[in-house]
Amino acid sequence: MSFKAFTDYLLLEKNYSALTVNAYENDLTNFYEFVKDEYETNTINKVNYAQIRSWIVFLVEQGISNRSINRKISALNTYYKFLLKIGEIKINPLAKHKALKTSKKIQVPFSEDEVMTVLNSLYFENDFEGIRDKLIIELFYSTGIRRIELVELKLTSVNLDNKTLKVLGKRNKERIVPLLASVVQTLNKYLEARCNLESIKDANNLFLTKKGVKIYETLVYRIINDYFSLASSKVKKSPHILRHSFATHLLNKGADLNAVKELLGHSSLAATQIYTHNSIAELKKVHVSTHPRGKK
């Protein structure tokens, strides 16, 4: 079953990223395979809610988390809304569906000491990969950009004169983020090392592998995990945790929530407010330790 009209709609009209569109297509294909096997149908356009519910039960029995199931159902719901829009169906079978309950996960950021231990350490080799890896960590921590945003950075994204970085975020929304002087210094060092690569295939992309091809998301994750494993005992060590640390540390120092929202590329304050949990905890600690009656 082809979902091309739907994926074209997501890419061209809704401006979804290719990564998101691929995820949606995979979810739809998985559901199609399920109803084809269970109900011997060659389409998912005419299924009812009971059939969708049986897929949900199947996913639960497979050990899929409620959060992941909700994401899959969200993809399916978006598809049915598209079919309604173009007149293919008259009723959305998911119109009255309620998402499965999920527990809120508290993301534990790296401490300032943990980040500084990595950045000020001798962990980085003085070669292309070592310089690149340090720059990646510095960029995550000093700008709060997302992993996919870092992967998609171009050479033209960097403005060394103004010390800024043009970032293409969700829904192709551009934002300009400032670069610290220390990051510009590492960036210049990286660009010099990049020029000395034996061959460069993806010349437009800022971050490359040592083979000269565009860096990929799993490698970026591995870089963060490997270096922070040397300095942190936290269970989760990922680019997102470093982004989380960026926001939390700014808020701990008194940064304005709206300013942090703009730097992160959030569309609403609600998305940024999840980072205030840790800053409030820090404020409580400071309050108790500094107030005249705090230790009484």
CA atoms of 130 and 7, how far apart (whole Å): 39
Active-site entry in 36, 97, 166, 170? 170
**Is 97 an annotated catalytic residue?**
no
Q: Is 53 a known active-site residue?
A: no
Catalytic residue among 243, 244, 249, 261: 243
- List beta partners, residue 177: 165
Which of 146, 194, 237, 261 is flagged as catalytic?
Answer: 146
3-state secondary structure the chain: CCCHHHHHHHHHHCCCCHHHHHHHHHHHHHHHHHHHHHHCCCCCCCCCHHHHHHHHHHHHHCCCCHHHHHHHHHHHHHHHHHHHHCCCCCCCCCCCCCCCCCCCCCCCCCCHHHHHHHHCCCCCCCCHHHHHHHHHHHHHHHHCCCHHHHHCCEHHHEECCCCEEEEECHHHCEEEEECCHHHHHHHHHHHHHHHCCCCCCCCCECCECCCCCECCHHHHHHHHHHHHHCCCCCCCCCHHHHHHHHHHHHHHCCCCHHHHHHHHCCCCHHHHHCCHHHHHHHHHHHHHHHCCCCCC
Distance separating alpha carbons of residues 82 and 54, to the nearest angstrom:
23
Query: Contact at 8 Å (CB) between 123 and 230?
Result: yes
Examine the residue annotation and report whether 293 is marked as an active-site residue of this protein: no
Q: Which residue has the tokens 């992967």?
A: 151
146 classed as catalytic: yes
Q: What residues are labeled active site?
A: 146, 170, 240, 243, 266, 275
